[in-house]
Amino acid sequence: MAADSRTALVVSAHSADFVWRAGGAIALHVEKGYRVVVVCLSYGERGESAKLWRKPGMTLEDVKRNRRAEAEKAAGILGAEVQFWDLGDYPLRVDDATLFRLADLYRALRPSFVLSHSLRDPYNFDHPLATHLAQEARIIAQAHGHNPGETVLGAPPVFLFEPHQPEQCGWKPDVLLDITSVWEKKKGAIEAMEGQEHLWEYYTRVALQRGVQAARNSDLKITYGEGYMRVFPQVTGELA
């Protein structure tokens, strides 16, 4: 693909997930010329907005507006496009119309890679549901019988970004991404999520830890990193 036609898709259960878990990858690939589209399936208005709900007189629509504004600011810092599908959270529910909507986005965008959540998360059922949606929509977009006559999707690799408690989610990183060069952008995006300020330090420590691991597994000087788990085998003609 030409540099100006490369794309990436991020399927985020809630409006802050893409920031904590994939903000570095987003900023890094935008700088490399990728168009990155983030789909926020919900605002995380019920389960991930405790700070906002503590304010007197807060309503569901007020929380949604706050969450949207924060996510738009964060996406702007990272350089990504963001879509808000407003499907609700706690619980997040997905119907066939949403599944086909995402399949159509796959075909329109033709992403070079896809990012989403871990396949398991006993602490948050919305997260694996988002990934199952991303995976099923990918398969449908590959099917010749779905909207016959359209060009079907190829096989973009899918990477699962880090859950909050990886050991309990059966998540083990096999890709460590150097995000040192874009850390300040990710930090700015993190700090745009004012409704979850308690997570700022946590995800800074995660980035530092993954940076240490990335440096130890390479000959590179790396300070900040992100971890990813591949869903499908890497296909390559060279192992070096």
pLDDT in tens, 103-157: 999 999 999 999 999 999 999 999 999 999 999 999 999 999 999 999 999 999 9
Q: What is the pLDDT of residue 4?
A: 57
Q: What is the pLDDT of residue 3?
A: 45
Please give the structure tokens belonging to residue 90: 């706690």
Angstrom distances, CA of residue 33 to CA of 6, 28, 62, 77: 7, 9, 35, 15
Please give the structure tokens belonging to residue 37: 């589209």
Residues whose CB is less than 8 angstroms from the CB of residue 228 and which lie 6 or more positions away in sequence, other chains included: 25, 115, 159, 160, 161, 162, 173, 174, 175, 176, 177
Residue type, 165: Q
Please give the structure tokens belonging to residue 237: 């003609």
Q: Which CATH architecture has domain 3-230?
A: 3-Layer(aba) Sandwich (3.40)
Q: Which positions of the chain have pLDDT values less than 70? A: 1-4
Q: What is the pLDDT of residue 114?
A: 98
What backbone torsions phi and psi does residue 116 show, to the nearest 5 degrees? Answer: -160, -165
Q: Give the predicted TM-score (pTM) of the model.
A: 0.96
